[in-house]
């Protein structure tokens, strides 16, 4: 029989449709990694004049770069301007103040070479940390969301490996749901919800995908999508940008291994990953908060294998035909194989 499972972090319900199983004909037809001409790619080395002026770079001793951060040429939110919050009858209005940046992950146009280099992933994570720390100094902004779209079905427009960072004057709904549920759990038990989940998962050891000294990856109990995988630090931490170099190197190793396993098992699927960390700031009415104790930053990796249909849009439920236990087993074998 199929299961209905509730995710304690987000509060959402998922149907684990074990009786259906993921069939080849159910999988979204998606393009293979794009093979556009690197000569016209604005993110390749030597084409720096094709992007807006860079914000930050990981400079190499020979004058080249490993990672660049540039403003998005077509930003959804802009740094320039004044923040205006006002009501329009029953509606709320906030001016489109924020930041929209591109983290160019490598000067190399070939995404496969990136996934073979753990040290390069450390450099990318360092760029995330530095940019989040800088943007939180802007008192107009309350949250910085880092996300990656890989492949056309996942929303990528350019094939060159890159991540996006959007900082905004409000806290996104999905993040707020996690914050509320984690806080409620802490108020009831005086413990971090995600820390408790981690202990439970390590004890059961049926959804663990892999781990390093400081990080664990697992398939969530109520995974929304086939092969959805989360990575979290073993030690409690609410804020990603407070991690030191040793921690980020360790994270880079596990992160890289998980992405490689997904590539091998699912033949380079389109995917998204999202970094959920603590907000930069809260509204003035929330001056007292226990967030440093109740929230636990994490990365969510979501292969885009299936389309969202009417039931999902209408109900808020997700239907996942691959059980998290089976997905974890397959990915574990790919890591060790």
Q: Can you read off the two tokens belonging to residue 286?
A: 């929330």
Q: What is the spatial distance between Cα 99 and Cα 104, in angstroms, rounded to a whole number?
A: 16
In angstroms, the CA 246 to CA 284 distance is 35
Query: Are the CB atoms for 269 and 151 separated by under 8 Å?
Result: yes
Phi, psi of 67, deg, nearest 5: -140, 140
Q: Give the contacts of 45 (CB within 8 A, at least 6 positions apart).
A: 64, 65, 107, 108
Query: What share of residues in the chain are helix, strand, coil (percent, to 5)?
Result: 35, 25, 45
Give the integer Cα–Cα distance in Å for 71 and 78: 10
> Where are the strands (E) in the chain, listed by range?
3-6, 13-16, 56-59, 65-71, 85-88, 91-94, 99-104, 143-150, 162-168, 208-211, 215-218, 229-233, 271-276, 298-303, 318-320
Q: Which of 162, 276, 296, 298 is catalytic?
A: 162
298 a catalytic residue: no
DSSP character string of 131-194: HHHHHTT-TT--EEEEEEEESGGGT-S--S-EEEEEEESS--HHHHHHHHHHHHHHHHHSS-HH
Q: Note whether 73 and 47 are within 8 A (CB).
A: no
Buried (b) or exposed (e) across 141-155, using 16+ Cβ within 10 A? Answer: bbbbbbbbbbbbbbe
Residues forming the active site: 162
């Amino acid at each position: 029989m199929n299961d209905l499972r509730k995710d304690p972090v987000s509060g959402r319900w998922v149907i684990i449709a074990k009786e259906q199983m993921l069939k080849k004909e159910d999988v979204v037809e998606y393009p293979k990694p794009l093979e556009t001409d690197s000569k016209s790619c604005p993110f390749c080395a030597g084409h720096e004049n094709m992007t807006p002026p860079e914000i930050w770079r990981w400079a190499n001793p020979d004058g080249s770069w490993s990672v660049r951060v540039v403003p998005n040429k077509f930003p959804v939110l802009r740094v320039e301007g004044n923040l205006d919050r006002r009501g329009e009858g029953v509606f709320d209005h906030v001016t489109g103040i924020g930041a929209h940046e591109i983290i160019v992950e490598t000067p190399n146009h070939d995404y496969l070479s990136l996934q073979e280099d753990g040290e390069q992933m450390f450099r990318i994570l360092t760029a995330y940390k530095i940019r989040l720390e800088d943007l939180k100094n802007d008192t107009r902004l309350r949250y910085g969301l880092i996300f990656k779209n890989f492949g056309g079905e996942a929303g990528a427009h350019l094939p060159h490996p890159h991540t996006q960072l959007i900082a905004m004057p409000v806290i996104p709904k999905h993040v707020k749901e996690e914050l509320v549920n984690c806080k409620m759990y802490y108020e009831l038990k005086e413990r971090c919800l995600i820390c408790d989940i981690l202990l439970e998962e390590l004890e059961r050891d049926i959804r663990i995908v892999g781990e390093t000294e400081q990080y664990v990856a697992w398939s969530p109990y109520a995974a929304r999508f086939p092969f959805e995988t989360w990575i979290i630090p073993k030690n409690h931490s609410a804020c990603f940008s407070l991690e030191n170099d040793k921690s980020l190197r360790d994270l880079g190793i596990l992160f890289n291994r998980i992405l490689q396993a997904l590539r091998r098992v699912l033949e380079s699927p389109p995917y998204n990953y999202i970094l959920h960390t603590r907000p930069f700031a809260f509204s003035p009415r929330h001056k007292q908060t226990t967030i440093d104790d109740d929230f636990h930053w994490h990365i969510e990796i979501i292969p885009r294998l299936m389309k969202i249909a009417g039931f999902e849009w209408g109900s808020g439920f997700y239907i996942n035909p691959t059980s998290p236990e089976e997905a974890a087993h397959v990915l574990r074998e790919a890591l060790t194989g």
